[in-house]
Amino acid sequence: MLPYTMSETTPYPIVDLRGMGGKEKEILKLFPELTRVSRPLYDFEDPSGAKIEVKRTQFKCLQSWIDPLKYLSLTEEERKIIFRFVYYDKTTGRCLEVVDTTLGEVVDRFIPKELMEPAQQLLTLYPNRGKLQFKLDIKWR
């Protein structure tokens, strides 16, 4: 995993990460150095141009959902996209922990190879992917 560092003397800003949706505005309050870009595989970039996808999940639940169809044929560059897990308190919505890894590591660790062929067949049958969602429950850690 890649390290994510935030000053130990500076706590995470108070934001409410509970609820549905991506919470992009709240994410930007947590990481003001990021810019919202909304691309198919990531939603943010940092000043160096690093691409970042953020997944929120309740602390201790360690569970999130990903769509394996998005990750069927990643380039080496796409595998380097930073995949940032933001863990929050389910009662207050406050950020408790941030863990960075790469999209490639998430795919390798959580999407079974035997799932990739049926997923590719689904895409062939339903090329208008906007109407098709295929979610995989992942437990991180």
pLDDT confidence band for 76 (50 / 70 / 90): very high
In a domain, 8, yes or no: no
How far apart, in whole angstroms, are the C-alpha atoms of residue 97 and residue 128?
Answer: 36
In a domain, 114, yes or no: yes
In a domain, 38, yes or no: yes
Domain span at residue 62?
24-139
In a domain, 88, yes or no: yes
In a domain, 16, yes or no: no
Q: How many domains does the chain have?
A: 1
% of the chain exceeding 70 in pLDDT: 77
**H-assigned helices in the chain:** 24-30, 76-79, 103-110, 113-125
In a domain, 65, yes or no: yes
How far apart, in whole angstroms, are the C-alpha atoms of residue 86 and residue 54?
Answer: 7
How far apart, in whole angstroms, are the C-alpha atoms of residue 64 and residue 108?
Answer: 16
Residues 1, 62, 119, CA angle at the centre, nearest 5°? Answer: 80
How far apart, in whole angstroms, are the C-alpha atoms of residue 45 and residue 52?
Answer: 6
* pLDDT one-digit tens code per residue, 1-58: 454 545 444 567 788 788 777 688 888 888 899 999 989 899 999 999 999 998 887 7
In a domain, 18, yes or no: no
Q: Which residues contact 83 (CB under 8 A, 6 or more apart)?
A: 52, 53, 55, 100, 101, 102, 103, 105, 106
Q: Taking the model in full, what pTM does it have?
A: 0.76
Residue 29 sits at φ, ψ, to 5 deg, of: -70, -35
In a domain, 97, yes or no: yes
- pLDDT for 126: 74
pLDDT confidence band for 104 (50 / 70 / 90): very high
